Amino acid sequence: TTRIVLAERPVGEPKDSDFRVETVELPEPASDEALLETLYLSLDPYMRGRMSAGKSYATPLEIGDTMVGATVSRVMTSGDDKFAPGDLVLGYSGWQTYAIAKTAHLRTLDPSTSPTTALGVLGMPGFTAYAGMRNIGKPKEGETVVVAAATGPVGSMVGQLAKLAGARAVGIAGGPEKVRILTEELGFDAGIDHRAEDFTEQLAAATPDGIDVYFENVGGKVLNAVVRRMNLYSRMPVCGLIADYNATALPDGHDRMGWFMRQILNQSMLVRGFIQGEFAPTQMNDFLTEITPLVAEGKIRYREDVVDGLDNAIEAFRGLLTGRNLGKLVIKVSD
Does residue number 239 form part of the binding site for ligand NDP (CB under 6 A)? yes
Does residue number 202 form part of the binding site for ligand NDP (CB under 6 A)? no
Category of 166 on φ-ψ map: left (φ > 0), alpha (ψ -120 to 50) or beta: left
**Bridge partners for 147 per DSSP:** 171, 215
Provide the mask over 250-289, with x wherever binding to ligand NDP is found by CB under 6 A and - wherever it is not: ------------------------xxx-------------
Residues 29-68 that bind ligand NDP (CB under 6 A): 44-46
| Smallest separation (angstroms) from ligand NDP to the CB of 120 | 8
Is the Cβ of residue 125 or residue 139 nearer to ligand NDP in the bound state? 125
Is the Cβ of residue 103 or residue 160 nearer to ligand NDP in the bound state? 160
Candidates 134, 163, 194, 235: give the one binding ligand NDP (CB under 6 A): 194
Nearest CA to 226 out of 255, 202, 258 is that of 202
Provide the mask over 174-193, with x wherever binding to ligand NDP is found by CB under 6 A and - wherever it is not: x---x---------------
Nearest CA to 294 out of 143, 150, 161 is that of 161
| Smallest separation (angstroms) from ligand NDP to the CB of 175 | 6
Candidates 271, 287, 325, 330: give the one binding ligand NDP (CB under 6 A): 325
Which of these ranges, 97-105, 173-181, 225-233, 284-292, lies near ligand NDP under the rule CB under 6 A?
Answer: 173-181
18 close to 5: Cβ distance less than 8 angstroms: no
Candidates 146, 149, 170, 300: give the one binding ligand NDP (CB under 6 A): 149
Backbone angles phi, psi at 230, to 5 degrees: -75, 140
How many positions of this chain bind ligand NDP (CB under 6 A)? Answer: 32
| Interatomic CA distance for residues 235 and 134, integer angstroms | 12
| Interatomic CA distance for residues 265 and 37, integer angstroms | 52
Is the Cβ of residue 29 or residue 327 nearer to ligand NDP in the bound state? 327
Nearest CA to 220 out of 189, 249, 241 is that of 241
Please provide the DSSP assignment of 193-215 as one string. ETTSTTHHHHHHHH-TT-EEEEE
Is the Cβ of residue 35 or residue 170 nearer to ligand NDP in the bound state? 170
Is the Cβ of residue 209 or residue 278 nearer to ligand NDP in the bound state? 278
Candidates 69, 115, 191, 323: give the one binding ligand NDP (CB under 6 A): 323
| Interatomic CA distance for residues 154 and 240, integer angstroms | 10
155 close to 126: Cβ distance less than 8 angstroms: no
Could you tell me where the beta strands, DSSP code E, fall in 31-87? 33-42, 71-78
Does residue number 237 form part of the binding site for ligand NDP (CB under 6 A)? no
| Interatomic CA distance for residues 235 and 146, integer angstroms | 11
Q: Interface residues with ligand NDP (CB under 6 A)?
A: 44-46, 125, 128, 148-149, 151-155, 173-174, 178, 194, 217-218, 220, 222, 239-240, 242-243, 274-276, 320, 322-323, 325, 329
